[in-house]
A and B are shown apart, each in its own frame.
Chain A
Amino acid sequence: GAGVSQSPSNKVTEKGKDVELRCDPISGHTALYWYRQSLGQGLEFLIYFQGNSAPDKSGLPSDRFSAERTGGSVSTLTIQRTQQEDSAVYLCASSLPGGSGNTIYFGEGSWLTVV
């Protein structure tokens, strides 16, 4: 596709359930990022993948959060045993390989509500 695609666009889940959020980056973009946007917390970096290198997981808030990227393309962010404070918009982004000045392109986000 032309842009970063995320699914689902909206998800309501019960507290304690697991959720999976999917991201399909722009074709040819080897760098992929997950961010979380919530009221009062702004935009928080979660995890960064670059090609076959070990991911930068330094932003994951707890061990309930994990992400994988299969085949260097699609990524899945998994939240286990969801809590109400996990309610937020989860934004995926991608960029071309190269220096850190490359533009990062964002998807429209997955809105997660934990009830």
Chain B
Amino acid sequence: AQSVTQLGSHVSVSEGALVLLRCNYSSSVPPYLFWYVQYPNQGLQLLLKYTTGATLVKGINGFEAEFKKSETSFHLTKPSAHMSDAAEYFCAVTLRDTGRRALTFGSGTRLQVQP
């Protein structure tokens, strides 16, 4: 079984400040890891994913995340927040090479960006 924990249901940063959204996972086998963003009244959009290879993954809109196996973490960062980054962010996990492909999501972190 797998699970995802996102620390902090709400995060507020100033425009131009570092964004750090935390995600820890629990998985019995090596996972695939994803970050999705949801803007108000819209569906989920993939920001980035880790499957294999380099553990530092770059995504859209200047976001990146680093897979740290020793810490079972996949934190999302962006060096400088924009007002347009205000949204809800979901970390998700699925197990590689298994028949169960559905994503297991964390509870989400709502990011507010203050002017």
Contacts and interface: CB of A to CB of B under 8 A. Distances in A.
A interface majority secondary structure = strand
A102 to B, nearest CB: 8
Nearest to A34: B102
Nearest to B33: A101
Interface string B78-115: 00000000000010001111111111111110000000
A43 interface: yes
Given A106-B43, A108-B43, A43 B95 contact: no
Contacts of B103: 33, 45, 104
A42 B94 CA distance: 17
Contacts, number: 59
Contacts of A105: 46
A95 B46 CA distance: 12
Contacts of A45: 102-104
Contacts of A4: 43
Interface size class of A (residues with CB under 8 A): 20 to 34
Contacts of A100: 32, 94-98, 100-101
A108 B42 contact: yes
Interface of B: 32, 34, 36, 41-46, 49, 51-52, 90, 94-108
